[in-house]
Amino acid sequence: MTLDPGLYNYWIVILLMMTGLYTVISRGNLVKKVIGLNVFQVSVIMFYVSMGKVEGGMAPILVEEAEAVYSNPLPSVLMLTAIVVGVATTAVALALAVRIHEAYGTLEEDEILEKEYGAAGPGAADGPVDDHEPG
Amino acid sequence: MLALIDVVLLAFLAVTAVAIVRLRDLFAAVMVTGIFSLLSAGLFTVMDAVDVAFTEASVGAGISTILMLATLAVTQDVEKKRWRRRFSPLALGVVVVTGAALVYGTSDMPRYGDPDAPIHHYLAPHFLEHTPDEINEHIPNVVTAVLASYRGYDTFGETTVIFTAAVMVLMLLGGAATIDRRRPGGGRMGANVVLRASAKPLVPLILLFALYVQFHGDFGPGGGFQAGVIFAAGLVLYALVYGPDRAQAIFTGRRLEALVALGVLIYGGAGVAGIVLGGEFLDYDLLAADPQDGQHRGIFLVELGVGITVAAVMTTLFLLFTGRGQPAPWEDRVGESEGTP
Protein backbone atom coordinates (compact mmCIF):
# COMPACT_ATOMS: atom_id res chain seq x y z
CA MET A 1 0.00 0.00 0.00
CA THR A 2 1.13 3.55 -0.64
CA LEU A 3 0.81 6.45 1.74
CA ASP A 4 -0.40 9.27 -0.49
CA PRO A 5 -0.83 12.73 1.09
CA GLY A 6 -4.02 13.01 -0.99
CA LEU A 7 -5.55 10.61 1.50
CA TYR A 8 -4.87 12.83 4.54
CA ASN A 9 -8.56 13.74 4.87
CA TYR A 10 -9.57 10.11 5.09
CA TRP A 11 -6.95 9.32 7.73
CA ILE A 12 -8.17 12.12 9.95
CA VAL A 13 -11.71 10.89 9.38
CA ILE A 14 -10.63 7.42 10.53
CA LEU A 15 -8.86 8.91 13.55
CA LEU A 16 -12.01 10.80 14.52
CA MET A 17 -14.16 7.74 13.94
CA MET A 18 -11.94 5.59 16.14
CA THR A 19 -11.86 8.29 18.83
CA GLY A 20 -15.65 8.24 18.87
CA LEU A 21 -15.73 4.45 18.93
CA TYR A 22 -13.20 4.33 21.78
CA THR A 23 -15.32 6.76 23.80
CA VAL A 24 -18.42 4.63 23.28
CA ILE A 25 -16.62 1.41 24.29
CA SER A 26 -14.47 2.55 27.17
CA ARG A 27 -16.53 5.18 29.00
CA GLY A 28 -19.21 4.20 31.47
CA ASN A 29 -21.00 7.53 31.56
CA LEU A 30 -24.08 7.56 29.34
CA VAL A 31 -23.80 11.23 28.30
CA LYS A 32 -20.14 10.67 27.45
CA LYS A 33 -21.18 7.76 25.24
CA VAL A 34 -23.64 10.02 23.41
CA ILE A 35 -20.86 12.58 22.89
CA GLY A 36 -18.70 9.78 21.49
CA LEU A 37 -21.45 8.80 19.08
CA ASN A 38 -21.67 12.44 17.95
CA VAL A 39 -17.95 12.52 17.20
CA PHE A 40 -18.40 9.29 15.23
CA GLN A 41 -21.28 10.84 13.31
CA VAL A 42 -19.31 13.97 12.38
CA SER A 43 -16.51 11.73 11.10
CA VAL A 44 -18.91 9.91 8.76
CA ILE A 45 -20.29 13.22 7.50
CA MET A 46 -16.74 14.48 6.99
CA PHE A 47 -15.98 11.33 4.97
CA TYR A 48 -18.89 11.87 2.57
CA VAL A 49 -18.20 15.57 2.14
CA SER A 50 -14.47 14.89 1.52
CA MET A 51 -15.42 12.54 -1.31
CA GLY A 52 -17.68 15.20 -2.84
CA LYS A 53 -14.94 17.79 -3.21
CA VAL A 54 -13.61 18.40 -6.72
CA GLU A 55 -10.21 20.01 -7.21
CA GLY A 56 -10.67 23.66 -8.19
CA GLY A 57 -14.43 23.34 -7.91
CA MET A 58 -16.87 25.66 -6.23
CA ALA A 59 -20.05 25.23 -4.22
CA PRO A 60 -22.81 23.68 -6.37
CA ILE A 61 -24.73 26.91 -6.89
CA LEU A 62 -24.97 27.49 -10.63
CA VAL A 63 -23.41 30.63 -12.12
CA GLU A 64 -23.52 32.12 -15.62
CA GLU A 65 -20.01 30.97 -16.58
CA ALA A 66 -20.10 28.00 -18.90
CA GLU A 67 -16.73 26.60 -17.85
CA ALA A 68 -17.40 26.62 -14.09
CA VAL A 69 -16.42 23.49 -12.16
CA TYR A 70 -18.72 22.47 -9.32
CA SER A 71 -18.18 20.13 -6.41
CA ASN A 72 -20.56 17.20 -6.09
CA PRO A 73 -23.96 18.29 -4.72
CA LEU A 74 -25.10 14.80 -3.76
CA PRO A 75 -23.03 14.26 -0.56
CA SER A 76 -24.15 17.72 0.60
CA VAL A 77 -27.80 16.78 0.24
CA LEU A 78 -27.41 13.46 2.02
CA MET A 79 -25.31 14.87 4.86
CA LEU A 80 -27.29 18.00 5.58
CA THR A 81 -30.40 15.96 6.30
CA ALA A 82 -28.29 13.46 8.27
CA ILE A 83 -27.11 16.21 10.62
CA VAL A 84 -30.63 17.29 11.52
CA VAL A 85 -31.78 13.69 11.88
CA GLY A 86 -28.67 13.13 14.01
CA VAL A 87 -29.59 15.84 16.49
CA ALA A 88 -33.14 14.49 16.72
CA THR A 89 -31.92 10.99 17.52
CA THR A 90 -29.33 12.40 19.93
CA ALA A 91 -32.24 14.03 21.73
CA VAL A 92 -33.92 10.63 22.07
CA ALA A 93 -30.73 9.19 23.57
CA LEU A 94 -30.41 12.10 25.99
CA ALA A 95 -34.07 11.78 26.97
CA LEU A 96 -33.43 8.12 27.81
CA ALA A 97 -30.41 9.20 29.88
CA VAL A 98 -32.57 11.70 31.78
CA ARG A 99 -35.15 9.02 32.55
CA ILE A 100 -32.45 6.56 33.60
CA HIS A 101 -31.02 9.20 35.92
CA GLU A 102 -34.46 9.76 37.43
CA ALA A 103 -34.88 6.04 38.04
CA TYR A 104 -31.38 5.18 39.29
CA GLY A 105 -29.93 8.50 40.44
CA THR A 106 -26.81 8.00 38.33
CA LEU A 107 -25.57 7.97 34.74
CA GLU A 108 -22.66 5.60 35.37
CA GLU A 109 -23.15 2.25 33.70
CA ASP A 110 -21.61 0.17 36.51
CA GLU A 111 -23.61 1.91 39.24
CA ILE A 112 -26.81 1.28 37.30
CA LEU A 113 -25.90 -2.39 36.95
CA GLU A 114 -25.07 -2.55 40.65
CA LYS A 115 -28.50 -1.20 41.52
CA GLU A 116 -30.16 -3.53 39.08
CA TYR A 117 -28.38 -6.71 40.18
CA GLY A 118 -27.40 -5.88 43.76
CA ALA A 119 -23.97 -5.28 45.27
CA ALA A 120 -22.70 -8.69 44.09
CA GLY A 121 -22.52 -7.27 40.55
CA PRO A 122 -24.01 -8.63 37.39
CA GLY A 123 -21.24 -11.20 36.84
CA ALA A 124 -23.39 -14.18 37.83
CA ALA A 125 -26.40 -13.07 35.80
CA ASP A 126 -26.66 -12.28 32.10
CA GLY A 127 -25.13 -8.80 32.42
CA PRO A 128 -21.86 -7.80 30.75
CA VAL A 129 -18.97 -9.70 32.30
CA ASP A 130 -16.26 -7.04 31.96
CA ASP A 131 -17.99 -4.85 34.53
CA HIS A 132 -17.57 -7.43 37.25
CA GLU A 133 -14.98 -6.35 39.79
CA PRO A 134 -14.93 -8.49 42.94
CA GLY A 135 -14.14 -6.66 46.17
CA MET B 1 -4.01 28.07 0.42
CA LEU B 2 -7.23 26.10 0.75
CA ALA B 3 -5.23 22.91 1.15
CA LEU B 4 -3.32 24.50 4.02
CA ILE B 5 -6.56 25.55 5.75
CA ASP B 6 -7.88 22.04 5.22
CA VAL B 7 -4.81 20.43 6.80
CA VAL B 8 -4.72 22.80 9.78
CA LEU B 9 -8.45 22.57 10.51
CA LEU B 10 -8.37 18.77 10.31
CA ALA B 11 -5.44 18.70 12.73
CA PHE B 12 -7.37 20.96 15.14
CA LEU B 13 -10.37 18.67 14.77
CA ALA B 14 -8.30 15.61 15.71
CA VAL B 15 -6.86 17.39 18.77
CA THR B 16 -10.33 18.50 19.86
CA ALA B 17 -11.69 14.97 19.51
CA VAL B 18 -8.94 13.57 21.73
CA ALA B 19 -9.62 16.34 24.27
CA ILE B 20 -13.30 15.36 24.32
CA VAL B 21 -12.43 11.78 25.25
CA ARG B 22 -10.00 12.78 27.96
CA LEU B 23 -12.16 15.40 29.69
CA ARG B 24 -13.84 14.14 32.85
CA ASP B 25 -15.85 17.28 33.38
CA LEU B 26 -18.89 16.68 31.20
CA PHE B 27 -19.73 20.38 31.07
CA ALA B 28 -16.31 21.08 29.57
CA ALA B 29 -16.65 18.10 27.22
CA VAL B 30 -19.93 19.48 25.88
CA MET B 31 -18.44 22.92 25.32
CA VAL B 32 -15.49 21.37 23.47
CA THR B 33 -18.02 19.41 21.39
CA GLY B 34 -19.44 22.79 20.36
CA ILE B 35 -15.97 23.88 19.23
CA PHE B 36 -15.61 20.56 17.42
CA SER B 37 -18.82 21.28 15.50
CA LEU B 38 -17.76 24.80 14.62
CA LEU B 39 -14.41 23.54 13.30
CA SER B 40 -16.13 20.94 11.18
CA ALA B 41 -18.50 23.61 9.84
CA GLY B 42 -15.42 25.55 8.72
CA LEU B 43 -14.07 22.43 7.04
CA PHE B 44 -17.34 21.81 5.21
CA THR B 45 -17.10 25.33 3.79
CA VAL B 46 -13.57 24.62 2.58
CA MET B 47 -14.88 21.46 0.90
CA ASP B 48 -17.59 23.46 -0.95
CA ALA B 49 -20.46 21.93 1.03
CA VAL B 50 -21.87 25.29 2.14
CA ASP B 51 -25.33 23.93 2.95
CA VAL B 52 -23.83 21.25 5.19
CA ALA B 53 -21.63 23.85 6.89
CA PHE B 54 -24.66 26.02 7.54
CA THR B 55 -26.54 23.11 9.09
CA GLU B 56 -23.60 21.92 11.17
CA ALA B 57 -22.95 25.42 12.52
CA SER B 58 -26.55 25.94 13.61
CA VAL B 59 -27.22 22.38 14.79
CA GLY B 60 -23.88 21.26 16.20
CA ALA B 61 -22.68 24.46 17.76
CA GLY B 62 -26.18 25.61 18.69
CA ILE B 63 -29.06 23.26 19.37
CA SER B 64 -27.21 20.04 20.17
CA THR B 65 -24.89 21.81 22.65
CA ILE B 66 -27.93 23.33 24.38
CA LEU B 67 -29.71 19.96 24.56
CA MET B 68 -26.64 18.36 26.14
CA LEU B 69 -26.30 21.19 28.64
CA ALA B 70 -29.98 20.86 29.50
CA THR B 71 -29.42 17.14 30.10
CA LEU B 72 -26.46 17.87 32.37
CA ALA B 73 -28.53 20.43 34.27
CA VAL B 74 -31.10 17.81 35.24
CA THR B 75 -28.63 14.98 35.79
CA GLN B 76 -24.97 15.18 36.77
CA ASP B 77 -22.12 17.09 35.19
CA VAL B 78 -19.06 15.14 36.21
CA GLU B 79 -18.04 11.75 34.96
CA LYS B 80 -17.12 9.55 37.93
CA LYS B 81 -13.44 8.76 38.12
CA ARG B 82 -12.57 5.12 38.43
CA TRP B 83 -9.03 3.88 38.22
CA ARG B 84 -9.96 0.87 36.14
CA ARG B 85 -11.89 3.06 33.69
CA ARG B 86 -8.95 5.36 33.02
CA PHE B 87 -7.43 3.13 30.44
CA SER B 88 -9.04 0.23 28.72
CA PRO B 89 -6.50 -1.92 26.82
CA LEU B 90 -9.20 -4.06 25.22
CA ALA B 91 -11.06 -1.05 23.83
CA LEU B 92 -7.81 0.50 22.63
CA GLY B 93 -6.84 -2.77 20.93
CA VAL B 94 -10.18 -3.03 19.11
CA VAL B 95 -9.97 0.60 18.01
CA VAL B 96 -6.36 0.40 16.81
CA VAL B 97 -6.96 -2.79 14.81
CA THR B 98 -10.14 -1.42 13.23
CA GLY B 99 -8.43 1.89 12.48
CA ALA B 100 -5.45 0.16 10.89
CA ALA B 101 -7.75 -1.93 8.70
CA LEU B 102 -9.61 1.19 7.60
CA VAL B 103 -6.38 3.08 6.83
CA TYR B 104 -5.26 0.11 4.74
CA GLY B 105 -8.63 0.31 2.98
CA THR B 106 -8.10 3.96 2.05
CA SER B 107 -5.14 3.08 -0.16
CA ASP B 108 -7.69 2.13 -2.82
CA MET B 109 -9.69 5.32 -2.42
CA PRO B 110 -9.57 8.02 -5.07
CA ARG B 111 -7.38 10.95 -4.01
CA TYR B 112 -9.02 13.93 -2.33
CA GLY B 113 -10.41 16.31 -4.96
CA ASP B 114 -9.84 13.90 -7.86
CA PRO B 115 -12.35 14.91 -10.57
CA ASP B 116 -12.21 11.39 -12.08
CA ALA B 117 -13.43 9.67 -8.90
CA PRO B 118 -16.41 7.36 -9.56
CA ILE B 119 -18.62 9.45 -7.28
CA HIS B 120 -18.44 12.37 -9.75
CA HIS B 121 -19.83 10.40 -12.68
CA TYR B 122 -23.33 8.90 -13.03
CA LEU B 123 -25.87 11.09 -11.19
CA ALA B 124 -23.97 14.20 -10.08
CA PRO B 125 -23.28 15.58 -13.59
CA HIS B 126 -26.91 14.96 -14.49
CA PHE B 127 -28.11 17.03 -11.52
CA LEU B 128 -25.66 19.85 -12.30
CA GLU B 129 -26.52 19.90 -15.98
CA HIS B 130 -30.28 19.42 -15.93
CA THR B 131 -31.43 21.34 -12.86
CA PRO B 132 -32.16 24.45 -15.01
CA ASP B 133 -34.30 22.59 -17.56
CA GLU B 134 -35.79 19.77 -15.46
CA ILE B 135 -36.50 21.69 -12.25
CA ASN B 136 -36.44 25.44 -12.66
CA GLU B 137 -34.00 27.78 -14.35
CA HIS B 138 -34.41 30.22 -11.46
CA ILE B 139 -33.16 27.76 -8.84
CA PRO B 140 -29.37 27.93 -9.06
CA ASN B 141 -28.76 26.04 -5.81
CA VAL B 142 -28.49 22.46 -7.03
CA VAL B 143 -28.43 21.17 -3.44
CA THR B 144 -31.95 22.53 -2.88
CA ALA B 145 -33.16 21.10 -6.19
CA VAL B 146 -31.81 17.64 -5.39
CA LEU B 147 -33.00 17.78 -1.77
CA ALA B 148 -36.56 18.85 -2.42
CA SER B 149 -37.28 17.51 -5.88
CA TYR B 150 -34.93 14.82 -7.25
CA ARG B 151 -34.62 13.13 -3.87
CA GLY B 152 -37.94 14.27 -2.43
CA TYR B 153 -38.81 10.78 -1.18
CA ASP B 154 -35.61 10.61 0.80
CA THR B 155 -36.14 14.01 2.40
CA PHE B 156 -39.72 13.08 3.23
CA GLY B 157 -38.36 10.05 5.06
CA GLU B 158 -35.87 12.19 6.98
CA THR B 159 -38.58 14.65 7.98
CA THR B 160 -40.65 11.74 9.24
CA VAL B 161 -37.69 10.49 11.27
CA ILE B 162 -37.39 13.90 12.94
CA PHE B 163 -41.13 13.83 13.62
CA THR B 164 -40.85 10.34 15.12
CA ALA B 165 -37.90 11.36 17.30
CA ALA B 166 -39.96 14.26 18.68
CA VAL B 167 -42.83 11.88 19.43
CA MET B 168 -40.44 9.56 21.26
CA VAL B 169 -38.96 12.33 23.39
CA LEU B 170 -42.51 13.54 24.13
CA MET B 171 -43.37 10.06 25.36
CA LEU B 172 -40.19 9.83 27.43
CA LEU B 173 -40.17 13.28 29.00
CA GLY B 174 -43.50 14.91 28.27
CA GLY B 175 -45.85 12.67 30.21
CA ALA B 176 -46.73 13.00 33.87
CA ALA B 177 -43.36 13.97 35.32
CA THR B 178 -42.31 12.02 38.37
CA ILE B 179 -40.75 15.21 39.70
CA ASP B 180 -41.87 18.77 40.18
CA ARG B 181 -41.70 20.59 36.84
CA ARG B 182 -42.16 24.09 38.22
CA ARG B 183 -39.12 26.18 38.80
CA PRO B 184 -39.19 29.69 40.24
CA GLY B 185 -39.63 32.17 37.34
CA GLY B 186 -36.93 32.48 34.70
CA GLY B 187 -33.63 30.71 34.42
CA ARG B 188 -30.55 31.68 36.35
CA MET B 189 -29.45 33.57 33.24
CA GLY B 190 -32.56 35.78 33.45
CA ALA B 191 -31.10 37.60 36.45
CA ASN B 192 -28.25 39.03 34.38
CA VAL B 193 -29.14 42.52 33.12
CA VAL B 194 -26.56 42.52 30.34
CA LEU B 195 -27.90 39.25 28.97
CA ARG B 196 -31.49 40.43 29.10
CA ALA B 197 -30.68 43.71 27.38
CA SER B 198 -28.58 42.13 24.64
CA ALA B 199 -30.92 39.21 24.01
CA LYS B 200 -33.97 41.36 23.46
CA PRO B 201 -32.90 43.00 20.16
CA LEU B 202 -31.16 39.80 19.03
CA VAL B 203 -34.20 37.54 19.12
CA PRO B 204 -36.23 39.30 16.39
CA LEU B 205 -33.10 39.56 14.22
CA ILE B 206 -32.47 35.83 14.56
CA LEU B 207 -36.08 35.03 13.67
CA LEU B 208 -35.92 37.38 10.67
CA PHE B 209 -32.67 35.78 9.53
CA ALA B 210 -34.32 32.36 9.83
CA LEU B 211 -37.10 33.49 7.49
CA TYR B 212 -34.50 34.83 5.04
CA VAL B 213 -32.66 31.49 5.08
CA GLN B 214 -35.98 29.69 4.57
CA PHE B 215 -37.09 31.65 1.52
CA HIS B 216 -33.69 32.31 0.01
CA GLY B 217 -32.74 28.61 0.05
CA ASP B 218 -33.47 28.24 -3.67
CA PHE B 219 -30.87 30.83 -4.63
CA GLY B 220 -28.12 30.44 -2.04
CA PRO B 221 -27.12 28.17 0.80
CA GLY B 222 -30.03 27.54 3.11
CA GLY B 223 -33.43 25.90 3.16
CA GLY B 224 -35.95 24.42 5.50
CA PHE B 225 -33.56 22.39 7.65
CA GLN B 226 -31.23 25.31 8.41
CA ALA B 227 -34.04 27.84 8.76
CA GLY B 228 -35.94 25.62 11.17
CA VAL B 229 -32.92 25.20 13.40
CA ILE B 230 -32.12 28.93 13.38
CA PHE B 231 -35.73 29.83 14.15
CA ALA B 232 -35.68 27.40 17.05
CA ALA B 233 -32.37 28.90 18.24
CA GLY B 234 -34.07 32.31 18.45
CA LEU B 235 -36.92 30.90 20.53
CA VAL B 236 -34.50 28.94 22.70
CA LEU B 237 -32.45 32.08 23.37
CA TYR B 238 -35.63 33.84 24.45
CA ALA B 239 -36.61 30.96 26.70
CA LEU B 240 -33.12 30.78 28.23
CA VAL B 241 -33.06 34.45 29.18
CA TYR B 242 -36.70 35.16 29.99
CA GLY B 243 -37.71 31.76 31.30
CA PRO B 244 -39.63 28.94 29.60
CA ASP B 245 -42.96 30.20 30.91
CA ARG B 246 -42.79 33.46 28.97
CA ALA B 247 -41.58 31.66 25.87
CA GLN B 248 -44.60 29.38 26.08
CA ALA B 249 -47.03 32.31 26.16
CA ILE B 250 -47.20 32.11 22.36
CA PHE B 251 -45.71 28.73 21.57
CA THR B 252 -47.51 26.56 24.06
CA GLY B 253 -46.69 22.88 24.16
CA ARG B 254 -49.96 22.02 22.43
CA ARG B 255 -49.42 24.46 19.57
CA LEU B 256 -45.85 23.29 19.08
CA GLU B 257 -47.01 19.68 18.92
CA ALA B 258 -49.55 20.67 16.28
CA LEU B 259 -46.82 22.45 14.30
CA VAL B 260 -44.57 19.37 14.46
CA ALA B 261 -47.29 17.40 12.68
CA LEU B 262 -48.34 20.28 10.41
CA GLY B 263 -44.95 20.45 8.70
CA VAL B 264 -44.99 16.75 7.83
CA LEU B 265 -48.59 17.14 6.64
CA ILE B 266 -47.65 20.03 4.31
CA TYR B 267 -44.83 17.92 2.88
CA GLY B 268 -47.04 14.86 2.44
CA GLY B 269 -49.85 17.06 1.13
CA ALA B 270 -47.61 18.45 -1.60
CA GLY B 271 -46.83 14.84 -2.52
CA VAL B 272 -50.46 13.69 -2.51
CA ALA B 273 -51.47 16.73 -4.57
CA GLY B 274 -49.34 15.26 -7.35
CA ILE B 275 -51.36 12.03 -7.21
CA VAL B 276 -54.70 13.88 -7.11
CA LEU B 277 -53.72 15.87 -10.19
CA GLY B 278 -53.04 12.67 -12.08
CA GLY B 279 -49.31 12.23 -11.59
CA GLU B 280 -47.14 10.40 -9.09
CA PHE B 281 -46.36 11.03 -5.42
CA LEU B 282 -44.18 14.16 -5.08
CA ASP B 283 -44.54 14.95 -8.79
CA TYR B 284 -44.44 18.74 -8.73
CA ASP B 285 -44.74 19.23 -12.50
CA LEU B 286 -48.53 19.23 -12.23
CA LEU B 287 -48.83 21.73 -9.38
CA ALA B 288 -49.00 24.60 -11.89
CA ALA B 289 -49.80 25.00 -15.59
CA ASP B 290 -46.11 25.29 -16.41
CA PRO B 291 -43.97 22.40 -15.09
CA GLN B 292 -41.19 24.83 -14.10
CA ASP B 293 -43.63 26.88 -11.99
CA GLY B 294 -44.98 23.64 -10.58
CA GLN B 295 -41.49 22.55 -9.53
CA HIS B 296 -40.89 25.90 -7.88
CA ARG B 297 -44.19 25.70 -6.03
CA GLY B 298 -43.53 22.13 -4.92
CA ILE B 299 -40.05 22.94 -3.65
CA PHE B 300 -41.42 25.97 -1.82
CA LEU B 301 -44.10 23.89 -0.06
CA VAL B 302 -41.74 21.06 0.79
CA GLU B 303 -39.10 23.40 2.22
CA LEU B 304 -41.81 25.19 4.20
CA GLY B 305 -43.02 21.89 5.65
CA VAL B 306 -39.47 20.91 6.59
CA GLY B 307 -38.84 24.32 8.16
CA ILE B 308 -42.01 24.21 10.29
CA THR B 309 -41.38 20.67 11.51
CA VAL B 310 -37.70 21.23 12.30
CA ALA B 311 -38.35 24.52 14.14
CA ALA B 312 -41.20 23.04 16.17
CA VAL B 313 -39.28 19.83 16.96
CA MET B 314 -36.15 21.65 18.13
CA THR B 315 -38.14 24.05 20.33
CA THR B 316 -40.23 21.20 21.74
CA LEU B 317 -37.09 19.22 22.56
CA PHE B 318 -35.57 22.16 24.40
CA LEU B 319 -38.72 22.86 26.41
CA LEU B 320 -39.10 19.19 27.31
CA PHE B 321 -35.54 18.90 28.58
CA THR B 322 -35.57 22.11 30.59
CA GLY B 323 -39.13 21.49 31.81
CA ARG B 324 -37.90 18.39 33.56
CA GLY B 325 -36.52 20.58 36.34
CA GLN B 326 -34.21 19.74 39.19
CA PRO B 327 -35.29 16.76 41.24
CA ALA B 328 -36.07 17.62 44.84
CA PRO B 329 -33.48 16.24 47.30
CA TRP B 330 -35.81 13.49 48.55
CA GLU B 331 -36.59 12.32 45.01
CA ASP B 332 -33.10 10.94 44.60
CA ARG B 333 -33.54 8.64 47.57
CA VAL B 334 -36.85 7.36 46.23
CA GLY B 335 -35.15 6.47 42.96
CA GLU B 336 -32.39 4.70 44.84
CA SER B 337 -34.66 2.54 46.94
CA GLU B 338 -36.70 1.63 43.87
CA GLY B 339 -33.58 0.62 42.02
CA THR B 340 -32.60 -2.02 44.54
CA PRO B 341 -34.64 -5.19 44.18
CB pairs under 8 A between A and B: 324
Per-residue DSSP letters for B224-283?
HHHHHHHHHHHHHHHHHHH-HHHHTTTS-HHHHHHHHHHHHHHHHHHHHHHHHTTS-TT-
Neighboring chain A residues of B341 at a CB cutoff of 8 Å: 116, 118
Q: Determine contact, residues B28/B81, Cβ cutoff 8 Å.
A: no
Instruction: List the one residue out of B230, B286, B291 whose CA is nearest residue B61.
Output: B230
The model's pTM: 0.86
ipTM of the complex: 0.86
Q: Determine contact, residues B317/B169, Cβ cutoff 8 Å.
A: yes
For residue A127, the model assigns a pLDDT of 47
For residue B251, the one-letter residue type is F
The crossing angle, in degrees rounded to 10, of helices B224-242 and B291-323 is 30
Mutate one of A94, A115, A117, A133 to test the B interface: name it (highest B CB count within 10 A).
Answer: A94
Among B residues 247-306, those touching chain A with beta carbons less than 8 Å apart: none
Which among A15, A69, A72 has the least Cβ separation from residue B119?
Answer: A72
Strands (E), chain A: none
B32 touching A, CB under 8 A? no
For residue B82, the model assigns a pLDDT of 60
Which among B20, B55, B76 has the least Cβ separation from residue A39?
Answer: B20
Which among B113, B165, B178 has the least Cβ separation from residue A53?
Answer: B113
For residue B322, the model assigns a pLDDT of 82
- Burial annotation B221-240 (CB, 10 A radius, 16+ → b, else e): bbbbbbbbbbbbbbbbbbbb
Mean pLDDT on A60-74? 87
Model confidence at A132, pLDDT cuts 50, 70, 90, reads: very low
Q: Determine contact, residues B127/B273, Cβ cutoff 8 Å.
A: no
For residue B261, the one-letter residue type is A
DSSP H helical ranges for chain B: 2-22, 26-46, 50-58, 64-74, 89-106, 123-130, 142-145, 152-169, 193-216, 224-242, 244-247, 253-276, 291-323, 329-339
For chain B, domain boundaries: 1-77, 141-328
Task: Profile chain B (341 residues) by mean pLDDT over runs of 10 residues.
Answer: 88 94 90 93 92 90 88 81 65 92 90 88 88 87 90 92 94 64 50 83 93 90 91 90 80 87 94 89 86 89 94 91 59 41 38
- Find all residues with CB under 8 Å of B80, minimum gap 6, and list them: A28, A29, A108, A111
B4 touching A, CB under 8 A? no
d(CA A39, CA A20): 5
- Find all residues with CB under 8 Å of B146, minimum gap 6, and list them: A73, A74, A77, B127, B131
**pLDDT, tens digit, for every residue of A83-107?**
988 999 999 999 999 999 988 888 8
